[in-house]
Every structure is written in C-alpha cells, then in structure tokens.
Amino acid sequence: MKIIVVGCGRLGADLAYRLFKQGHEVVVIDNLAAAFRNLPSEFSGRTVEGDVLNRDVLHRAGIEKADALAAVTNTDTINVVVARIAKAVYGLTNIVVRNYEPHFSDLLEAFGVQFVSSTIWGAKRMEELINHTDVRAVFSTGNGEVEVYELVVPEAWGSHPLSELAIKGESMVISVTRAGKALLPFEGMLMLDCDVVNISATGTGITTLRQRLTAALEA
C-alpha cells in the first residue's frame, strides 16, 4: 500500500518504520526537517518537509494515489483537519488519527474519525493491572471501550452454566480452554474448575462480572 504518515515525532517515526518494514510505500510529512532524524537509518521511504495543511505539500506526498493516511502529530486539531481533507477532498477512507489530548476525543467521535488515544488506553490498562488480578484484559479494541478478558474459573463456579457469564449487550463468552484445548462455547455448556474463559465485555459488563466473582468467592 501507499501510506502517508503525518508527523515524525517518536510515534510517527516508529509507525512509518514498521509500515516500511512490512513492504509498504511510505511517505512521511513534517514541518520540521530535524524531525526526520527520528527515523531509523534503515528507513528508505520518502520524506516531505512542509505544512501538511498546504495542498502542495499533500500533492508532493502523493495523496491522490495514497491508500491510507495516519495523522499522528501532537495537535488534535491538525490531525482531524488533515483527516477531513483526506476523506472529503481526496476520497481516502483508510484513515487513522492520533488523539493527543483526551478531552478532544469527543470532537474526533463527532467527526466520525477513527482514532487511537495512547493516553486513554494506557490509563485504562494501568488501572486494570493495578486493581484487577482475578480477571485480566488480554486484548483491547478501539480505545478500550470493549476488551477481551481472561478468567480462570474458580472452584465456586465449577458446574455453573457458562451462560452466567453472558450479560445482554455487555458481555459474551468467546472461548473456553479446558485441559489445554480451546473450545467454542455451546448451549448448555457448564464451567469446570480451572477452565480458562475468554470474555468480550464492555466496562460495565466486566464490572458486573467481577462483582459476581467476588460474591461467589465470599459465599
């Protein structure tokens, strides 16, 4: 793919290099030539110096033929404007932007922009690791709105229906690993002590499940 990365700070440089190593044709834009020093010496994609909001700069980067764009500057307004231009003017649909300041996330959602917030996601993951060792997150989607959790079934839940872990609209069981073998859940399936259950859940869903787990262990 032909991919444009806007912003060559630590995140942009690492992203550009990863994409380059995967065999993509990568162009990096930054308004400071010195920023390109963040790129590893092995990177041989193109660099374009200039203001990304200048149409000539976008044209020099080849936006007309680009397949994807990542706007990862440390300014949320620039990221969202670039995303809107890429979509509305050049018809790009594969666009991802960085959310730098958490309070700007509502703006990005309002514009329907796909974004990644390292601050929001990182804070949620740290909170999970600090406060919860019984049910741990193993995969996160979006910015942590829905995550996949791993639960080792306690003895108190042995022989309980697996369906007890499902909460309509909030959580669902994805798989069960029993004696080292992964199984898809089926109707009427019972949990066994020490089963490893993977559950997809929202924040509300996993909070409810943790409350149920705590109650079962204290009973």
- CATH code, 8: 3.40.50.720
CA-based nearest residue to 52, from 18, 86, 87, 26: 86
Q: Look at residue 105 in the predicted model and tell me its pLDDT.
A: 79
- What residue numbers bound the domain in which 13 lies? 2-118
Residues 104 and 161 placed together within one structural domain of the fold: no
Q: Where are the alpha helices (DSSP H) in the chain?
A: 10-21, 55-60, 76-88, 105-110, 118-131, 203-218
Q: Look at residue 179 in the predicted model and tell me its pLDDT.
A: 86
Residues 175 and 90 placed together within one structural domain of the fold: no
What backbone phi and psi angles, to 5 degrees, belong to 146?
Answer: -130, 130
Residues 193 and 144 placed together within one structural domain of the fold: yes
Q: Look at residue 48 in the predicted model and tell me its pLDDT.
A: 97
Residues 14 and 100 placed together within one structural domain of the fold: yes
Q: How many domains does the chain have?
A: 2
Q: Look at residue 123 in the predicted model and tell me its pLDDT.
A: 78
Cβ-contact 179, 153 below 8 angstroms: no
**Tokens found for residue 14:** 């690492």
Residues 190 and 90 placed together within one structural domain of the fold: no
Residues 141 and 210 placed together within one structural domain of the fold: yes
Residues 147 and 102 placed together within one structural domain of the fold: no
Q: Where are the alpha helices (DSSP H) in 22-104?
A: 55-60, 76-88
- In whole angstroms, how far apart are CA 115 and each of 6, 20, 111, 163? 14, 21, 11, 33
- 197 occurs within a structural domain: yes
Q: Look at residue 131 in the predicted model and tell me its pLDDT.
A: 64
Residues 93 and 144 placed together within one structural domain of the fold: no
- 99 occurs within a structural domain: yes
- In whole angstroms, how far apart are CA 97 and each of 69, 81, 124, 171? 8, 10, 19, 28
- 123 occurs within a structural domain: no
Query: The domain that contains 149 carries what CATH number?
Result: 3.30.70.1450
The overall pTM is greater than 0.85: no
Residues 132 and 101 placed together within one structural domain of the fold: no
| Contacting residues for 155 by C-beta, under 8 A, at least 6 apart | 193
pLDDT of the chain, 219 residues: tens digit per residue: 999 999 999 999 999 999 999 999 999 999 999 999 999 999 999 999 999 999 999 999 999 999 999 999 999 999 999 999 999 999 999 999 998 888 877 777 777 778 888 777 777 767 766 765 567 888 888 777 898 998 888 888 888 999 999 999 999 999 999 988 999 999 999 999 889 899 999 989 988 988 888 777 676
